[in-house]
């Protein structure tokens, strides 16, 4: 999915730890050809021996960052054959700004005194996916809206003609008003969306020896300036254990 979709459409590359896991797994399963293919393609990714990995613990930091795009109503005019203009509504996603762009984790093994520093990687660009998916469908959405608006307008126009033939000044005025209203009327589009979804999901992973740890996580802007810093509660992790920490930022 990263190679065929995320990288091509959203500029999101495969996270390094996923490649590391693929290398380790292919070696452990004796998939030698697949191992060589992966290693040749990602020659800058460190291979971790399966035996060594089994002696370590695995820790994940999941960072939900920013706020997803907001769906708004936009309009475009469509002229009818008699030059009346119908205003068509359609949905549009607008990205919201946020300052934090990355997160950096610091861990210290309390017994050995060893320190570990690593950063999160972009796993899912939710904002870009939402914008692109709607953009890919927008021509179909607009076409259907034009058909509906044209049908309404022509029906109102026909009603005006019938009223004019049948007589009655008040009836004609009402029909004409309905035609005018139809010419500028627009359907209210569905702008419902998950307002609290993050703009992106970032994940950091590190293999560490078993033991007790303390640490902190810094949330930084594109200039590497720390925006927020949070202490990580002391924790103990055992061999081959996986532990997950989750953080949410909207700045």
What average pLDDT does range 22-34 have in this prediction? 89
**What span, in angstroms and rounded, lies between the C-alpha atoms of 14 and 146?**
41
How distant, in Å, are the alpha carbons of 39, 97, 207 from that of 210?
A: 28, 39, 9
| Residue ranges per structural domain of the chain | 1-54, 55-249
* Per-residue pLDDT tens over the stretch 73-127: 888 888 877 777 778 888 899 999 999 999 999 999 999 989 999 999 999 999 9
Average pLDDT score, the chain: 85
Determine whether 250 is exposed, middle or buried from the number of CB atoms within 10 Å of its CB (0-12, 13-18, 19+).
middle
Give the H or E element holding residue 116.
Answer: strand 115-119
Q: Which CATH architecture has domain 55-249?
A: Sandwich (2.60)
- Return the sign of the alpha-carbon dihedral for residues 206, 208, 213, 214: negative
Please give the model's pTM, rounded to 2 decimal places. 0.79
**What span, in angstroms and rounded, lies between the C-alpha atoms of 248 and 96?**
16
127-153 in b/e burial notation, b at 16+ Cβ within 10 A? bbbbbeebeeeeeeeeeebeeebeebb
* Per-residue pLDDT tens over the stretch 105-120: 999 999 998 999 999 9
């Amino acid at each position: 999915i990263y190679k065929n979709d995320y990288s091509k459409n959203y500029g999101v590359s495969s996270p390094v730890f996923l490649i590391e896991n693929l290398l380790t797994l292919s070696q452990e399963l004796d998939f030698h050809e697949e191992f060589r293919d992966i290693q040749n393609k990602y020659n800058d990714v460190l291979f971790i021996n399966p035996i060594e990995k089994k002696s370590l613990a695995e820790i994940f930091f999941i960072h939900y960052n920013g706020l997803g795009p907001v769906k708004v109503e936009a309009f475009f005019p469509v002229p009818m054959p008699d030059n009346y203009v119908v205003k068509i509504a359609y949905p549009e996603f607008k990205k919201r700004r946020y300052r934090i762009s990355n997160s950096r984790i610091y861990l210290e093994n309390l017994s050995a005194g060893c320190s570990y520093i690593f950063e999160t990687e972009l796993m899912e660009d939710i904002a870009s996916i939402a914008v692109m998916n709607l953009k890919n469908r927008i021509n179909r959405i607009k076409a259907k809206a034009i058909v509906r608006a044209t049908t309404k307008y022509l029906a109102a126009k026909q009603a005006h003609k019938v009223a004019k033939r049948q007589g009655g000044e008040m009836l004609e005025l009402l029909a004409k008003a309905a035609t005018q209203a139809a010419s500028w009327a627009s359907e209210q589009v569905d702008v419902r969306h998950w307002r609290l979804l993050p703009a992106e999901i970032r994940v950091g992973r590190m293999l560490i020896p078993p033991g007790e740890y303390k640490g902190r996580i810094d949330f930084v802007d594109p200039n590497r300036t720390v925006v927020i810093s949070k202490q990580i509660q002391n924790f103990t992790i055992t061999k081959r254990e996986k532990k997950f920490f989750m953080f949410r930022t909207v700045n």
